[in-house]
Amino acid sequence: MDAAPTQDASNRDAADQPAVPVLRVTGLSYAYGKTKALDDVSLELSSGRVTALLGPNGAGKTTLFSLITGLFDSRQGAIEIASHAIRRARSKALAQLGIVFQAQTLDLDLSVEQNLRYFAALRGLPGGTAQQRIAALLEEIGLTEKAKAKVRTLSGGQRRRVEVARALLDRPALLLLDEPSTGLDISTRRWLVEHIHRIAREDGIAILMATHLVDEVMPEDDLLVLNKGRIVARGPVEQVIRHSGGADLDEAFTRLTAKGEAPS
Amino acid sequence: MNAAHAGRAFRAILWRELLRFVQQRERFFAALVRPLVWLLVFAAGFRATLGLSIIPPYETYITYDVYVVPGLIGLIQLFNGMQNSLSMVYDREMGSMRVLLSTPLPRGYLLVARMLSGTAVSIIQVYAFLAIAALCGTELPPSGLLPLLPVLVLTGLTLSALGMFLSSRIRQLENFAGVMNFLIFPMFFMSSALYPLWRVRESSLLLYELCRFNPFTYIVELVRSTLYLQFNATALAVVVGTLLVFGAAALIGYTPARGGPAAGRGGG
């Protein structure tokens, strides 16, 4: 089943300026043993756009992210980040990528600043550049005064802010967020959604945000609906709602994921 | 990957490992107390009961505490290798392994950097132990201490590679106690760490053969011969071979083609 609108999420601005997609996934499949997690997934993301990857639990969102980040490898299909194939030019592809994982991944025993400095060094940023970026990002996320605080002492929302800052340290072309609002309170969720839309707009970053919460999707976003390993709808939010026959995104999501068939 | 990037990343991984070691004071003291208990309690008791004939690399009669020091150096590095393994399993469960492995550096480089960092920590522990042992009256050849350094890098890397391989196979932290029981203790006891192999052969031929096939025996013997400025080609060859085997196994264990233990399995 594919209730997909014909227009691809990445092609909205094609008439204005044909741009190379920041992320191109083609015919990607992956299985855990005999259980298929992703089945022939293709997508493209353009810079400056937020694409919401909407899917219920177990849809394959995290598997897709693990493949894009090179933590998994699949022989079926291809992934290119800024025209670098992850299989052939892993380092160049990952150099363009920032990621916020679903689980929190900061070192609890290090301070906020130490965590960021550690990651900046892993990304190869020189000390001076790293220091400037850290200061600017901490100010941006409103945690300058927490720079020396151990991460263990921060709230869940503050930790998530630090993770967003960490993902942006090296000015990535593509930012992946895997269910970033998990466990956050409403105000932090709102801050997060607003913040990622702002950085997409102002810094021209392509953002792919996995979520299963429809209220995190903004009307101007592109949408990919993943169900049981398959993309069952794609396009601008309005269009997906219209094609699904639902009254709103909530209803559209319910319809689309209820009708999804399991990959064989 | 350019050299500057590689250098920065290595320094960061080393810095984090050293910081973690310093912050975990209990770990530092446990690392020192464990071999010191063997040296000051166990070896003191055996000193009176166990006579050691002159065997290479020793050129004269030695006391048991002198004999046991290379084995205890091996013990420090063995435990450190397992500590690394435990910390990698922990990092994997906490997710920081994902962060490390999704950086734009070759996976093999990251894993080797991680092993070298663990080795550096073990070398600090070894020299702290040797200093305390000397203060407690154990006579060690000072001229062997510097040549020992590259050997400790090699033996530390070998045991770190073993630890890393294990961490790629251990799925949960809870399974670690099993590794302690079924790997560390047999490796330590079935080696020349506590008794010369000729003594072992006198009591059990089977045990002797097991000791001969235990790579830890060769780690201990390589340390022992180096301390006394002698070259043990067999021990060196076995240790290098063991490093290559466990290093390759660890790299395969962390390869993304098989899902990679660092990746875990997502719920979304």
| Residue A102 counted as domain residue | no
Question: In this predicted structure, what is the pLDDT of residue B229?
Answer: 93
Q: Give yes or no: residues A47 and A115 share one domain.
A: no
Q: Give yes or no: residues A178 and A77 share one domain.
A: yes
Residue-number span of the structural domain to which A141 is assigned: 107-171
Q: Give yes or no: residues A116 and A188 share one domain.
A: no
Spatial strand order in the sheet of A97-100: A97-100, A174-178, A206-211, A50-54, A222-227, A230-236
Q: Give yes or no: residues A149 and A127 share one domain.
A: yes
Tokens of A75: 């022989």
Q: Give yes or no: residues A202 and A125 share one domain.
A: no
Contact (CB, 8 A) for A248 and A23: no
Last-in-domain residue among A171, A200, A216 = A171
Last-in-domain residue among A154, A171, A188 = A171
ipTM: 0.79
| Residue A101 counted as domain residue | no
Mean pLDDT of chain B: 85
Question: In this predicted structure, what is the pLDDT of residue A43?
Answer: 94
Query: B184-197 burial by CB neighbour count: b if 16+ within 10 A, else e?
Result: beebbebbbbbbeb
Mutate to test the interface with A, among B22, B87, B94, B102 (most CBs of A within 10 A): B102
Largest CA distance in chain A: 54
Residues in chain A: 264
Q: Quick one: which of A75, A223, B209 has its CA closest to B200? A: B209
Which residues in chain A have their CB less than 8 angstroms from residue B111's CB?
none
Contact A122 B100 (CB under 8 A): yes
Q: Give yes or no: residues A91 and A195 share one domain.
A: yes
Q: Which neighbouring-strand residues pair with A85?
A: A80
Question: Which A residues 54-113 touch B at CB under 8 Å?
Answer: 55, 57-63, 65-66, 69-73, 90-95, 97, 99, 101-110
What is the identity of the amino acid at A230? Answer: R
User: Has residue A203 got a pLDDT over 70?
Assistant: yes
Any CB–CB contact under 8 A between B88 and chain A? Answer: no
Distance from CA of B222 to the nearest CA of A (A): 35
What is the identity of the amino acid at A208? Answer: L
Count how many Cα atoms sit within 13 Å of the Cα of residue B103 in the half-sphere of its side chain. 28
Total count of domains within chain A: 2
* CATH number of the CATH domain containing A202: 3.40.50.300
User: Has residue B54 got a pLDDT over 70?
Assistant: no
What is the identity of the amino acid at B17? Answer: E
Which residues in chain B have their CB less than 8 angstroms from residue A107's CB?
16, 94, 96
Contact (CB, 8 A) for B159 and B245: no
Which residues in chain B have their CB less than 8 angstroms from residue A70's CB?
101-102, 256
Contact A105 B96 (CB under 8 A): yes
H helical segments located in chain A: 61-68, 90-94, 112-122, 127-140, 156-168, 186-203, 237-244, 249-258
| Residue A232 counted as domain residue | yes
Q: Give yes or no: residues A200 and A86 share one domain.
A: yes
Last-in-domain residue among A138, A171, A204 = A171
Any CB–CB contact under 8 A between A253 and chain B? Answer: no
Q: Is B266 helix (H, G, I), strand (E, B) or coil?
A: coil
Residue with tokens 């208990």: B37
Question: In this predicted structure, what is the pLDDT of residue A109?
Answer: 86
Q: Give yes or no: residues A180 and A166 share one domain.
A: no
pTM comes to 0.82
Q: Give yes or no: residues A129 and A214 share one domain.
A: no
Tokens of B268: 């979304």
Going from the C-alpha of A237 to that of each of A152, A178, A205, A260, A261, the distances in angstroms are 38, 19, 19, 19, 22
For B166-194, write each residue's pLDDT tens digit. 888 877 766 777 777 788 888 999 999 88
Q: Give yes or no: residues A119 and A208 share one domain.
A: no
The mean pLDDT of A152-156, rounded to a whole number, is: 93
Question: In this predicted structure, what is the pLDDT of residue A16?
Answer: 53
Count how many Cα atoms sit within 13 Å of the Cα of residue A182 in the half-sphere of its side chain. 16
